[in-house]
Structures are given as structure tokens and as C-alpha cells.
Homo-oligomer: A and B are copies of this chain.
Amino acid sequence: MTNVTLWGLGAMGSGIAKLLRQRNIGISSVWEQDQTKIGRNLGEILQDGKGAGHTVQEASEVFDAPFGILIVATGSTVPEVFPLIRAGIKGRQHVITIAEEMSYPWAQHPKLAEIIDQEAKANGVVVLGTGINPGFILDSLVGFLTTPCMRVEHVFARRVNDLAPFGPTVLRTQGVGSSPAQFEQGLHDGSIVGHIGFTESIHIIGKMLGWTVDRIEQTRQPIISKTARETPYISIEPGQVCGCNHQAKGYVNGQCVISLEHPQQICPEAEGIDTGDTIEITGTPAIKMNIKPEVPGGVGTIATAVNVIPKVLEAKPGLRTMADIVLPSCWGTL
């Protein structure tokens, strides 16, 4: 179909590389900053029984496969991935990235978004940010589900997941294991951030429904455990923080029309909480959707990044969102 250049071989990048190889998509080069990976071949790193593959190269700004796909699987913010995206565009590569803020980069970095859009158009390539969330559950799926509605007054979506599989970095940014006072301090100093992507998801929904969102409010509350909870990475006692209940609201003309919730904690089953994805549309008709358990985040992000490839190849050049591409789906299996 096309050749892929991959930037980043962390948990997500490695998963993307494996899925591409399962589907026999050529990987024309792999770039990393991690010195322990540079110089080794892809098959040795992935251990996926799919042959040697290319040698992992040191981070570079040289791309040499015009109109192939560059997948950027590093970073969460627009400024972090901006130089990589630009280098891809200059090499006339379409760019797919899982950096959360790139799902709707106009929201927080309008100037950088404008540069990306102009350069992508000038080079005839498409740039798309995607992933499970932002990108799918709390935005494009919400928008698509309104297709059979005559009128929508409000949308609510909640994603309840389990942080138990995650390592120390994620647990720290969610405040897991802190005391309530430490949690407040962490919010204050920026070490506890909760979910990255609410602003972007709200703007994607707004764009799909034709709503001009003029204000977004976010709250982050500690989830204080009543029970002892334990994962391979952490043990917490009753009274400690087991996660962060992050919520966001989008307003149009002073009225809250979009409510998103993403409480993330370890072992929610310890207090009888089911994981799942919920969407409730208030309108004509009202629609109540549940996915139980939730679509898993890691696998979902890896798959989404690969599954959008054919739709990126046929999209109009420029900076695009999940709301701008032809209905994607899984492909290439059976």
C-alpha cells in the first residue's frame, strides 16, 4: 500500500511497528533517540518473528520516501512533535501522530497549527493526529453517534478505565499513591496533569456539530480510596489517592453543551466500579450508548494510528482531524 517511516519505538511505537509488520506494510526506516535501540535491527527489538527488518537509526530530520507515511509516536504536545512533523512535510510525507494535542492542534497552539496546515498544503500532504482518546471514544465516536439525530442539545461522555497495567510515569502524572494534600500540591506545580486531550476532544465535537465552543472548564479531583489497592507497580492504603477524576465542560453562549469525564484510577473493581465507555446524547432522539469494558487504550491507539492510513492517503492535503477523513475502520485482517 505504502511505505511507513516510524519515529519512536516506545510502547506505542513498538506496537505500531508490530501491527504494520503483521499486515505486511513496508517500514522504510525507523528513527529513535534511545541509544540502546540505535543500530539494532527492528526484528531483534520487537521479537515478533517477522524477520530482521531495518536497522534503527539515530534521530534525524532527513526523510526520503515522498508520499509515504511518517508515523510520529513520541510526545503529547504540539511543540514536542512540531519539528518532526515539519521535517516529514518537507520530505513530502503524510504524517500521522498520536501526540494527544495534535488531534485538534488549533485548540492550544493555533499558530503552530496554521504553519503545519500551510506547509502541508504547499507540499501536497496530509497531517492527522489520532488515537483512542483524544481521537475516538470521547470525540469522533460521539459526533458520529449524533448522525441519526434531528437535534442535539447536549452531549455527555465518560470513559472509566483501570490504570493498573501502567508504570510509574503514568501513575505519577495521575497522582496515584499521593496523599490528598500532595495531590493538591501536584496539581499546583504541574506534576499531576490527569488526562491530556479534553480541550481537543471538545473542539472536535464542536466542529462536528457546528457549535462554536467559547469556553472550556476543567476540574481535577483526587479519587481517594476506601480500600487497599495493589498493582505490580504500586500499593496504596485507604485514604491515599488511587487516581484522578478529570472532567471538562464545553460552553456555547454561556450554556454547558458538552460534558466529558475521564476518571482514571488503579483497580476500580476494588470498590465495585465497572470500567466502560458511555455516551449520552440529549436530543431528538436521545441516545444512550455503553461499551463494557472500555476499549483498551494502548491497543486502541496503536490500531487507530494504523487503521487511518488508507483514509489519510485519500484525504485533501492540509492539517486534518478525525472529523475530516472518510469513515475509518479496521482493515487488512482475516
Chain A residues with CB under 8 Å of chain B are 19, 22, 132, 136, 140-141, 143-153, 208-211, 252, 257, 283-285, 287-292, 295-296, 299-304, 306-308, 322-334
Contact = CB atoms under 8 A, between A and B. Distances in A.
A330 to B, nearest CB: 4
Helix, strand, loop or mixed for chain A's interface?
mixed
Contact of A150 (B19, B153, B291, B334): B19
Given A323-B327, A325-B327, A327-B140, A295 B333 contact: no
Nearest to A292: B288
A330 B289 contact: no
A146 B330 contact: yes
A211 B141 CA distance: 23
Contacts of A152: 330, 333-334
Contact of A290 (B289, B301, B302, B308): B289
A96 to B, nearest CB: 13
B146 A329 contact: yes
Contacts of A140: 327
A209 B333 contact: yes
Contacts of A151: 22, 330, 333
Nearest to A328: B147
A90 to B, nearest CB: 27
B329 A209 contact: yes
